[in-house]
Structure 1
């Protein structure tokens, strides 16, 4: 029994040490999402028009890189939010068992706050990814149509 208790003490210590890195990760993802919103606005306000001067492989490389970043934000944000939800619930429920409602209320507030931050990051990443996919597909379709039109005019 003593070994089992010690394992659980170490497990709890390890998990509780994760809350701060998870929270910083959420803040980092939100900062990345805000930066990505700015880049997306720049693309919409003329940046994509400048992409037309680039070679097709370069356009695809840039598009893939930006879509990967939006997908990372959309997927990792909710995961970190869930971790930030579950980590403080253990000590909060233990405090409730001891009758300390104050610690439980702090733990619940942290749990809900990290959930909201994670979902916010996920929503931003998802929305940016969807918008960009549509814009990039339209740009590539237009460039392909122009290329076909150019090839047709050369053939005549």
Structure 2
């Protein structure tokens, strides 16, 4: 039943995905580390400069940075799961042939990619939650300042 040429192609295609998935995980972790650096800069002075910008520009910039953090938080675990499942097929096949060495290598790759994916997910989730709170506070303060300016303006008596 599973000797069809379609299944052989499927197995070949999935086997080719392991390297791109692993490189994708590494790239995602690099983006997460860079984004952590940007967030530290925002927290210690960067957001104060944002308060001088128009509200629309702040919202646009905040949305872009939140989208990036959300992407890291969602795609990381997905790639980690792919990196877990891809080597398990050949590993279990090797176990059926009695080759425990190949199974142990496959299991090590599976666990390593799982951990990297979860790490990326945790970093992305934490960045997203912190930034949401920071940006909401900043936008609330900007709105309060705008309302204060409006109330301080002299009104013309007619």
TM-score (norm 2): 0.96
Deviations 1:66-94 (A, max 9, x none): 00000000000000000000000000000
2:105 aligned residue = 106
Query: Aligned-pair RMSD on alpha carbons?
Result: 1.2
Q: What is the CA distance between 1:58 and its match in structure 2?
A: 0.5
2:90 aligned residue = 91
d(CA) in 1 for partners of 2:113 and 2:100?
20
d(CA) in 1 for partners of 2:83 and 2:129?
26
1:28 aligned residue = 27
**Equivalences for 1:97-136 in 2 at 5 Å?**
97-136=96-135
Residue 48 (1) aligns with residue 47 (2): yes
Note the residue ranges of structure 2 that are not aligned, 5 or more in a row: none
Deviations 1:4-28 (A, max 9, x none): 5211111000000000000000000
2:16 aligned residue = 17
Q: What is the CA distance between 1:53 and its match in structure 2?
A: 1.0
Residue 79 (1) aligns with residue 78 (2): yes
2:56 aligned residue = 57
Q: What is the CA distance between 1:155 and its match in structure 2?
A: 4.5
TM-score (norm 1): 0.97
Aligned length: 155
1:138 aligned residue = 137
Note the residue ranges of structure 1 that are not aligned, 5 or more in a row: none
d(CA) in 2 for partners of 1:38 and 1:49?
17
1:54 partner SS: coil
Q: Looking at secondary structure, tell me which structure has more helix per residue.
A: 1
Runs of 4+ in 1 over 3 A off after TM superposition: none
